[in-house]
């Protein structure tokens, strides 16, 4: 059996259940962006020296396959525990001293830059999933919560590895900096 089925040569693809849709369909855009996110996370994981973050990233990559299945119309395997795990990790990293002090300027560290790229792909996936929902398509509410929380966590992964490397990526110079919190845009 070949990976090249030629069934997409006309610009259509199949969803779970056999339904054919345009490759330009918003649902295809959503799961395609989730696929892109998984690949970007694979790169970030491959260059990250922190074993805990690498393992958390690998878990997330596996969960993104569940997310894709939910978006393509399959039964959702997303659980509140998956979102809760991301929230727990966000809270753990945020509680560390000097992790969240200002907006970050991406690119001060290779690993954190990779996680910042992943964060932006995650935010794009979130926007596409929300547009899909806004158009009245069936979207598991957990999918939106999951990508929202995940983008926060990916931003924090970047700050965590910067802290470990002794890198200061604050956007603004000076003692004032920004507010005592920051958002993952």
Percent share of the chain, pLDDT over 90? 61
What is this structure's pTM? 0.87
Which pLDDT value is given to residue 49? 98
Which pLDDT value is given to residue 185? 47
Backbone angles phi, psi at 22, to 5 degrees: -65, 145
Q: Please give the full DSSP string across 98-151, using - where no structure is assigned.
A: TSSSS-B-TTSSHHHHHHHHHHHHHHHHHHHHHHHHHTT----HHHHHHHHHHH
Which pLDDT value is given to residue 163? 93
Cβ contacts of 34 within 8 Å, gap of 6 or more: 64, 67, 68, 71, 125
Can you say whether the dihedral through the CA atoms of 60, 89, 119, 147 is positive or negative? positive
CATH topology of domain 21-164: Hypothetical Protein Ta1238; Chain: A; (1.20.1200)
Which pLDDT value is given to residue 174? 59
Residue with the larger pLDDT of the pair 16 and 35: 35
Residue with the larger pLDDT of the pair 98 and 136: 136
Residue with the larger pLDDT of the pair 161 and 180: 161
> What number is the average pLDDT over the span 69-95?
89
Helix (H) or strand (E) holding 53: helix 51-71
Pairwise CA distance, residues 16 & 73, whole Å? 6
Which pLDDT value is given to residue 149? 98
């Amino acid at each position: 059996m070949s990976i090249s089925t030629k069934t997409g040569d006309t610009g259509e693809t199949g969803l779970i259940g056999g339904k054919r849709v345009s490759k330009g369909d918003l649902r295809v855009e959503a799961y395609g962006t989730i696929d892109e996110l998984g690949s970007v996370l694979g790169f970030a994981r491959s260059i990250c020296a922190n074993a805990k973050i690498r393992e958390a990233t690998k878990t997330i990559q596996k969960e993104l396959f569940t997310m894709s299945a939910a978006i393509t119309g399959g039964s959702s395997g997303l659980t509140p525990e998956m979102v809760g795990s991301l929230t727990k990790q966000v809270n753990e990293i945020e509680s560390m001293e000097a992790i969240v002090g200002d907006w970050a300027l991406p690119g001060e560290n290779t690993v954190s830059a990779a996680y910042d790229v992943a964060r932006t792909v995650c935010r794009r996936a979130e926007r596409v999933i929300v547009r899909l929902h806004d158009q009245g398509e069936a979207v598991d509410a957990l999918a939106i919560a999951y990508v929202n929380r995940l983008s926060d966590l990916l931003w924090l992964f970047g700050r965590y590895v910067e802290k470990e490397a002794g890198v200061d990526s604050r956007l603004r110079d000076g003692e004032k900096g920004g507010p005592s919190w920051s958002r993952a845009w």
